[in-house]
Amino acid sequence: MSLSLDKLRLLRRQAGDATPRTVAAEPAAAPPPVVPVAANDAQARRPAPDSVFAWVEQEIRHKPSGASVPVPAPAPLRRPDVGGLHRLLGLRDRGTAAARPRANAQDRHVPGEEIAPGLFLIESFLAQPIPTQPLSLAFAKRDGEQVQPQDLMFFDTETTGLAGGTGTRAFMIGAADWHRDAARGDGLRIRQLLMTTMAAETAMLAEFARWLQPSTVFSSYNGRCYDAPLLKTRYRLARQRCPITPLDHVDLLFPTRRRYRGTWENCRLATIERQLLQIVREDDLPGSEAPAAWLNYLRGGSAVNLRRVAEHNHQDVVTLSLLMLRLVAEERRERETLALEGGPVRG
């Protein structure tokens, strides 16, 4: 707040501190001789004011003008340290971080053949007889329905998270089907698509769609509620025609729960695999650790755990084919037993 000289005089009059303009007393004494002083001593030699108002008035009257006040030079602008800011916020260079391996990452080998930039195809073949008769779907409460063994496609995905939604994507799709190969004979063909860059998703979805036929019947374990909706969302976001919606789907989770609920501690696929099919995995990477393994590889880490993810996915689709045959056989055996005993057949 600033006060003008006129306002200060008005305040002095109101406070009774103003001196009369004319004095009828004896004539004023001669002023003392002016002694020149240095500029830096002017403040010290100045007579003390009579009151607070006089002091404020004196300060305003002797205050240097704005033109004479030295203005400090502006400090030079510092160049921002972008790299330090990124390190502070935990950010990374999106353009080069995925392509630049870490200095301590020795193993970056990804299995399979690169069929598109950043997309790898992993193929294997298990020789085994193909069922000769159509498989009944009565175990899934679909009485009278049958499926040709070679129309079945057992599939499973490995994703970047378990929450679902548009932010989650499948970085691996595994599929198994019974196939008659001219050189290797009959067996189970396992194909896996693995993308090692975000940009490879479009090629992966297009390649998976080429594997499907109008007669294909999907088979999964909880895939109707998770894997299939996730892939449908990814096709929609990629602006590709969704090949999954028009196809039939047999989810093995629900008939497995109905038949074996309460028999073991839970009905997870790993439990059913171990208890019912007598399959014991060695050095298996849990599915919950698959997202971390893939993201670690994208950031330049080792591919060791990524290969373990591929092995885990491979065993999942093989287990689905064995579980399908077991459920069909159990349902047929139960119906035959009930028919011999004359009891009602469970629907």
- What are the pLDDT digits (tens) for 266-278? 999 999 999 999 9
Q: Please tell me whether residue 84 adopts helix, strand or coil conformation.
A: helix
Angle between helix axes 227-237 and 201-210 (nearest 10 degrees) is 120
Q: Among 78-87, 112-121, 240-249, whose mean pLDDT is lowest?
A: 78-87
Instruction: Tell me what pLDDT residue 23 has.
Output: 42
Dmax (CA) for the chain in angstroms is: 147
Instruction: Tell me what pLDDT residue 13 has.
Output: 77
Of 289, 339, 1, 283, residue with least CA distance to 138: 339
Q: Taking the CA atoms of 316, 318, 319 and 325 in sequence, report the sign of the dihedral they define.
A: positive
Structure tokens at 109: 């080998």
**pLDDT over 90, % of the chain:** 59
Instruction: Tell me what pLDDT residue 118 has.
Output: 96
- What are the pLDDT digits (tens) for 133-174? 999 999 999 999 999 999 999 999 999 987 666 789 999 999
Q: What is the pTM of this model?
A: 0.69
- What are the pLDDT digits (tens) for 54-110? 665 666 565 555 555 566 666 666 666 766 766 666 655 544 444 455 555 578 999
